[in-house]
Amino acid sequence: MNEPVDLKRRRLVQLTGLSAVAATFPQFLFAATATSPPHQASFDFHPDVDLELTARPAYFPILSGPRTNVWKFYGKLLKGPEGSVQEIPGSFLGPILRLKKGQKVRIRFHNEVPAESVVHWHGLHVPAEMDGHPKYAIKQGETFVYEFEIMNRAGPYWYHPHPHWVTARQVYSGLAGLMLVTDEEEQALNLPSGDYDVPIVLQDRTFDSRNQLSYSDHMMTRMRGFLGDQILINGQAGFTLPVATRAYRLRLLNGSNSRIYKLGWDDGTALTVIGNDGGLLQKPETRPYIMLAPGERVDLWVNFKGRQVGSELVMRSLPFTVSMHGGMMGGGGMMRGGERGGMMGGGMGGGMMRGGGRGGMGGGMTGRGGRGGMMEGGMMSGSAIPLGSDYPVLKVRILREESDDSALPQRLSSITRYRLKDAVNSEQPKTITLSMRRMSALLNGRSYKMNDVAPDEIMALNSLQLIEFDNGFEGGHGMMMMPHPMHIHGLQFQIVKRSIKPGFEKAYQSVSEGFVDEGWKDVALVMPGEKVTLLKRFDDFKGSFMYHCHNLEHEDLGMMRDFLVR
Ligand code: C2O
Ligand code: CU
Ligand code: CU
């Protein structure tokens, strides 16, 4: 009855018969198993912060009524400053790890879930063996001890599992948490802190009638990415943020498997951005709305001064169009073979929609309002709130009057821009083409394979590289096109430019003002027909570092590769 999703899937595997499953997903037969014993605590590493992080099944209250089976990270501080491990009350998310640049950190990861797992510190610059590569996955009952120094500047990083083929399912089950790093530069700014510095983790989930998480393995879902029926904030349903009439810092993380948000305030107030993936920008920037793809973070400065006590403000995801040249929706080929029933199931449940569907993923969906449109959109996307529709994300209620003297600093940090001419390949960018075919999502036509590094994936240690992600900009894009939030492990990169292919501009205009490409990034959303060019350094550590689509279903489908730094 009340099984976490991985157990459900196991049963599904049994019921279906292994051979049938293996024929559909041959990778199931090659589960990743660590070749060397898991890393243990070393005697010559003297941690400033020493903690335990245990992944365990939990039976957790999320909705009213029955509890929900989740997998949850539990933290315990063994040594280090008080507050280094901060639970979010009432949340299935892992504790917030509050760390400081320069600290030596030991994290004893105990795997107590019935599956292999490994933890990745998204955005942190750590040695390859400490980066949560799937080859270091440990079995249930085992412990892997991570030891590294925090080399990153202040910023909103996060942690989540990264095992082979099943990352999406494990994150969906609840395994994820924030890591907020601070440093002296940030502290000197006196930004809103304590209760006025609010973590906001956005995720979408679908619950069945018994309040259990439901997840679909259908190939259609895997190709498109899983979209849930309702938005959870910090693991909570029906979340309202109570605020006073003063300045706040909101740290948003999109921890969803595949959902892309176009965030804007419902009264049209512009957003003030002070930071993103890799920490503070040089100076505050404003945007009418912000695109936030899976894995991306944005640090907002919001002043509620002058607002009526008792009033509400809602951050919505605003409508946008994704052009889908290549015919994922048109041809209908993806929808055959028993997919329809499954897609219909989640269609109507969420109740968060305002005024029916506002256009789904494909051009064909746009403009069909009302109930019919919503049904169809729901069916096409498998969600009550289709990608690109208009729905509320975060409700803020002004609770009390309070004055503060915090002013928005006009200078936040200093960032030295990389120079194109300093790249070892400034004349010859490394191009990574993104493509999707039936049953696969590819990088340069390749699917993920452990210990399989192509010559163009070798990076010289301490080099600056010019890299471009090409999502159908130059040509061949496979059978369908989708947005891909591309992530590279290791040091953050700088985005140099975005180019859009003629013919794709119209859909692109619905998102193009929402990118925050200033500062340091580790995820870049690449829209259909777009090419994103960036500069990235591969410093300090040799070894395998992954790059992949952070649409977690795409990642598990094989849209991932390793760079070998040597
Ligand atoms: Cu957030 Cu390789 O992942
Ligand atoms: Cu990462
Ligand atoms: Cu993708």
* 122 CB near ligand 1 (under 6 Å): yes
* 255 CB near ligand 1 (under 6 Å): no
Task: Tell which residue, 61, 333, 385, 372, has the closest CA to residue 223.
Answer: 333
* 100 CB near ligand 1 (under 6 Å): no
- Which secondary structure element, helix H or strand E, spans residue 432, and what is its range? strand 430-437
How many angstroms is it from 547 CA to the middle of ligand 3? Answer: 12
Task: Specify the residue with its C-alpha closest to ligand 1, atom 1.
Answer: 122
Structure tokens at 65: 């009524």
* 295 CB near ligand 1 (under 6 Å): yes
For residues 480 and 323, give the distance between their C-alpha atoms in angstroms, rounded to a whole number: 10
For residues 100 and 81, give the distance between their C-alpha atoms in angstroms, rounded to a whole number: 10
**Angstrom distances, CA of residue 63 to CA of 154, 206, 397:** 34, 11, 21
* 487 CB near ligand 1 (under 6 Å): yes
pLDDT at 328: 43
For residues 179 and 85, give the distance between their C-alpha atoms in angstroms, rounded to a whole number: 9
In this structure, the strands spanning 261-265 and 391-400 are: unpaired
Single pTM value for the model: 0.87
Structure-token match 């530069």, residue found: 185
How many angstroms is it from 276 CA to the middle of ligand 2? Answer: 15
**Position in ligand 1 atom list of the atom nearest CA 160:** 1
Q: CB under 8 Å to 445, separation ≥6 — which residues?
A: 433, 435
For residues 244 and 248, give the distance between their C-alpha atoms in angstroms, rounded to a whole number: 9
Contact 465, 459 (CB under 8 A): yes
* 297 CB near ligand 1 (under 6 Å): no
* 133 CB near ligand 1 (under 6 Å): no
For residues 455 and 35, give the distance between their C-alpha atoms in angstroms, rounded to a whole number: 24
Domains of the chain, first to last: 13-183 (2.60.40.420), 197-400 (2.60.40.420), 420-565 (2.60.40.420)
Query: b or e along 504-528 (b: 16 or more beta carbons within 10 Å of the residue's beta carbon)?
Result: beebbebbeebbbbbbbbbbbbbbb
For residues 124 and 278, give the distance between their C-alpha atoms in angstroms, rounded to a whole number: 9
Task: Tell which residue, 269, 236, 232, has the closest CA to residue 254.
Answer: 232
Q: CB under 8 Å to 82, separation ≥6 — which residues?
A: none
**Position in ligand 1 atom list of the atom nearest CA 122:** 1
3-class DSSP string for 442-505: EECCECCCCCCCCHHHEECCCEEEEEEEEECCCCCCECECCCEEEEECCCCEEEEEEEECCCCH
Q: Is 537 in a helix, a strand, or coil?
A: strand
* 120 CB near ligand 1 (under 6 Å): yes
**Angstrom distances, CA of residue 153 to CA of 32, 99, 156, 520:** 33, 11, 10, 10
**Angstrom distances, CA of residue 312 to CA of 240, 245, 378:** 10, 12, 28
Structure tokens at 465: 């590289």
Proximal ligand: closest to the CA of 294:
1
Q: Is 527 in a helix, a strand, or coil?
A: coil
* 537 CB near ligand 1 (under 6 Å): no
- The ranges of the chain with pLDDT < 70 are 1-35, 324-381, 475-479
* 531 CB near ligand 1 (under 6 Å): no
For residues 500 and 531, give the distance between their C-alpha atoms in angstroms, rounded to a whole number: 6
Structure tokens at 310: 């008792």
Task: Say which amino acid occupies 156.
Answer: P
For residues 125 and 539, give the distance between their C-alpha atoms in angstroms, rounded to a whole number: 9
For residues 345 and 226, give the distance between their C-alpha atoms in angstroms, rounded to a whole number: 13
For residues 226 and 381, give the distance between their C-alpha atoms in angstroms, rounded to a whole number: 8
Task: Say which amino acid occupies 325.
Answer: H
How many angstroms is it from 83 CA to the middle of ligand 1? Answer: 25
Task: Specify the residue with its C-alpha closest to ligand 1, atom 3.
Answer: 122
Q: For 159-205, what is each residue's pLDDT tens digit? A: 999 999 999 999 999 999 999 999 999 999 999 999 999 999 999 99
**Position in ligand 1 atom list of the atom nearest CA 523:** 1
